[in-house]
Homo-oligomer: A and B are copies of this chain.
Amino acid sequence: MNYYLGIDLGGTDIKIGITDNKGNIHIKQSFPTFAHLDAGTLIKHFGKCVEQVIHNSGFKKKSIKGAGIGSAGLVNPETGQVKYVVNIQTLNDCYLAPAMEKKIGIPVFIDNDANAMTLGEFHFGAARGYNNVIALTLGTGVGGGLIFNGEMYRGSTYSAGELGHITIETNGILCNCGNHGCIEQYVGREGIVKRFKKYQKQKKMKSTINKFLDNDGITPKAISKAAKAGDKLSRLVMEETGTYLGVALASYVNILDPEIIVIGGGIANAGDLLLKPAREEMMKRAYPLPAQNVKIVRAKLRNDAGIIGSASIAVNSLK
C-alpha cells in the first residue's frame, strides 16, 4: 500500500494527515501555524510537525510516496512557489514545496486549496471516474476548480476557477473583488445572511430562526437547520439561494459542458434544500443536451476534505 501526506495549510492551523491510495485517512493531527514567524523558522516548524505525524503513524517514511500542500492564496504548482497568501504573509514568494521536500525527504507538491478540494473529489470523492469536472465550494467565499479531459486546468497565470466571480447581475451587489453582481454575493455566506435579515426586517413572514442560533448569530448553518425543521422564511432564503446558484450553473454548463458539478463547502450542507432549486433553475436556463447530461451533486469529502484534498495533490502529481 502507498501512503500520501496531506498538509492543509491555513493561517491559524496546519492540519496534517496520512491517507492511503484509496483516500482513507490513517492519522491526522492539527498544529498551530505560527503565521508570524519568518519563512525559514516556519519551514522548520512545519517539518517538525510532519515528522511527528509520521512518527505517530508508525509508517515507514519510504512507504509515503509524496506530500501535498493545499494552501490558500496564489501558488505556482510547477515551481512550488507560494506567490501570495494573505494569512501567512512571511511565506509570500517562498519556494515552499522544494524547501519542505528538502526538509522532510519526501517529494512535496503544492496547489491552492480550491484545486486541492477539486482533486480530492476527483480522486476519492463524488467526481471519481469523471473526466470533465467542475468543483464549487460555497462558504464565506465561493471558489472552485476545473478538470478538463481528466487533467486539472489551472489557466495561464494559475488563476483559473474563480467560479464565484462571474457576473449574474451587471449592476448588482458590489463584491469584495471589486466587481458588481458576482454570484458569490448571492450564494456566499454574507449574501445569504443579508437577504435573511432584510426579509426579517420587512416582516416578509414569521421565522423560528431564534431556536436554531448559536453564538455566531444568524448564519447559513442556522438558516439551513431552521429550514430543515420547516421554518418558512429560512426555506424561502435557501430556495432563493439555490435559484441564484442555478443561474450560475447554467452559465458554467453552457460554456463548459461538464459531466459533473460537485458542490461543497459549509453552505452545501443544506443539501437538496439548495441543490433541488439549483438543478431546476439550471435546467430551465441551460441548453437541453448538456443540461440533461450533467450531474449536480454534493461533495463527498466533508470534514477531512482539506487533508484528503491536499494529499490528492501528491496523488495527482505522481500518477
Query: What is the interface of chain A, defined by CB distance below 8 A to chain B?
Result: 74, 131-132, 146, 148-149, 151, 153-163, 165-170, 177-180, 244, 247-248, 250-252, 254-259, 284-287, 289-290, 293-294
Contacts and interface: CB of A to CB of B under 8 A. Distances in A.
- Each complex incorporates copies of this chain amounting to 2
Contacts of A248: 167
A260 to B, nearest CB: 9
Contact of A155 (B132, B167, B180, B285): B132
A180 B246 CA distance: 13
Contacts of A293: 156-157
A209 to B, nearest CB: 26
Nearest to A155: B257
Contacts of A156: 131-132, 257-259, 290, 293-294
A178 B259 CA distance: 22
Contacts of A259: 156
Nearest to A131: B156
A179 B286 CA distance: 7
Contacts of A159: 254, 257, 287, 289-290
